[in-house]
Amino acid sequence: MPNLICELSDLPPTGPSHWKTVAVHTATEPRRTEYLKVPSVLISLRDGKHYIPVAIAVEAPGRILVELPAETDSGARRVWVPHASLVDYERLLV
């Protein structure tokens, strides 16, 4: 399953302690940071970076539309992210 790089948010916790707020950076212009709450078991750590699992919806040159595991604070379930933000996936476009 593809994983998207994220950052653990410094926002104060709201809700149960087993949920964490993470930030993901989009590839849309202007660049945005989207925040979403996910169960802490979905957050993985690799080489000092945090990741969440995502599903690939669409690939385009330089960016990928991913489906997030939860809705963002802005209400989005899908966001465009740079290719470099993903690991553990096989490119669909050649």
Residue 94 domain flag: no
DSSP category for residue 27: S
Contact 72, 35 (CB under 8 A): yes
Residue 22's identity, in one-letter code, is V
What is the number of domains present in the chain?
1
Tens of pLDDT, residue by residue over 45-87, are 999 999 999 999 999 998 999 999 999 999 999 999 999 999 9
d(CA 65, CA 80): 4
Q: Which domain holds residue 69?
A: 3-87
Residue 41 domain flag: yes
Identify which has the larger pLDDT, 33 or 16: 33
Residue 19 domain flag: yes
Structure pTM?
A: 0.86
Residue 92 domain flag: no
Please identify which residue in the block is written with the tokens 């809700």. 15
Residue 49 domain flag: yes
